[in-house]
Amino acid sequence: MSSANLQKYLQEYFSMPFDVRKELHDGNECYFSSPSNEGDMLFEVNAYIQNEIRIVLEIRPQIHARAMLESISGADNEKKTKFINFLNSLRSKRVSVDLQINGRPINDEELKSCTWNNFYCRLTRVPITDSSEPCDLFDVISEWTKQAVCLFLCLLPVSDQDEQTGELEGSQYQVVCNKYERSPINRELCLAKNGYTCRICGFDFEKTYGSIGQRFIHVHHIVPVSMIGSNYQINPEKDLIPVCPNCHAMLHRKKPPFLPDEIMNILEKRK
Ligand SMILES: [Zn+2]
Ligand SMILES: [Zn+2]
C-alpha cells in the first residue's frame, strides 16, 4: 500500500492538504499522516497493524504544537462536547482509548476544564475488522486514520466548508449540500450513532454490494437551512440522518427539502 493513496483519500475526504509518509518501525509498516490547515502542521497520526490482529493509532502534536494546544485549551464547550462524544463513539466501536493530557489520564469533566500543555493519545482496536471477508490493508488504515483525524479536528478551529451547490460525483442530479452534511466530523458522529442503512428506504449498500458497499451512504441534514439561526448548534446524531443517494435526491426535489417522513409516506403509499 502506498502513502500516496492514503494521502489522496484523506485530502479528498477532509478537503484539506495532508502530509503522509510511510516508515518501517519494529518490523511494522507505519503510516504517518498530518493534516495541515492553511499551512499549519497540526498533529500527526501514526497508524500501524500489530501482529495482524490489532490496529494502533498514536496521535501526537506536530510542529505548530503550541498554537494547537492553545486553541484546544481555548476551544468552546461545543467543540469539547463534540470531542467527548467522538471519543465515546470510538469506544462504542470497541476502540480502547488511552488519552493522557499533561502527562496523566483524564476524565471527561476534567477534559472540559483543563488547559492542555501536552497530550498523547493512543487508540487500539482488536480485531482490525468486523467483516468476515478478508480485509484490505488500505481500507483498515484509511478508515481508522480518518477516525483519529476527525477526533482531533473536533477541537480545532478548522474552517468549515462553505455552503455550496455542487453536483455529486458521478450523479445526474444536483443536490444542495450544506456545510453540516459536508463536514466530515458531523458525518462520522451521525454514522457512529445511526449506522449505514438508509433511514428512509432501508437500503444497505454492504448487504447488496458486499465489501465495496461497506460504509457507503450519504448524510442528510434534516432541519431546513432557512430555519437555522446563527446560534443554532447542530446535533449530528439527531439533525443528520444516513440516506441512500436516491432518497437523498428525492429529499432535495424541493427547497427547503422534504422532511424524511414525507418521502417515507410517499414510498409507503406506492407499495
Ligand atoms: Zn433510501
Ligand atoms: Zn441533504
Q: Which ligand is nearest to the CA of 220?
A: 2
Q: Give the pLDDT score at 228.
A: 64
Closest CA to 124 of 98, 102, 153: 98
Say which residues have a Cβ less than 8 Å from residue 2's Cβ, sequence separation at least 6.
22
Distance between Cα 218 and ligand 1 center (Å): 10
Q: Give the pLDDT score at 14.
A: 86
Quick one: which H or E segment has residue 101?
strand 95-101
Q: Which ligand is nearest to the CA of 264?
A: 1
Q: Give the pLDDT score at 172.
A: 35
Q: Which ligand is nearest to the CA of 224?
A: 2
Q: Which ligand is nearest to the CA of 249?
A: 2
Per-residue confidence of the chain (271 residues) as pLDDT tens digits? 889 999 999 998 888 889 999 999 888 899 999 988 776 778 999 999 988 889 999 999 876 677 778 888 888 888 888 899 899 989 988 999 999 998 999 888 888 888 888 889 999 999 888 777 777 889 899 999 999 999 988 888 765 544 344 444 433 334 445 677 778 888 888 998 899 999 999 999 999 999 889 889 999 989 765 566 666 777 888 889 999 999 999 998 887 889 999 999 999 999 8
Inter-CA distances, 113 with 5, 30, 74, 97, Å: 39, 34, 10, 20
Return residues with CB closer than 5 A to ligand 2 (ion).
220
Distance between Cα 207 and ligand 1 center (Å): 14
Distance between Cα 14 and ligand 1 center (Å): 25
How far is residue 168's CA from residue 21's CA, in Å, rounded to a whole number?
30
Distance between Cα 7 and ligand 2 center (Å): 27
Q: Give the pLDDT score at 175.
A: 44
Q: Which ligand is nearest to the CA of 173?
A: 2
Return residues with CB closer than 5 A to ligand 1 (ion).
198, 200-201, 203, 244, 247
Here the cell at position 46 is 501514526
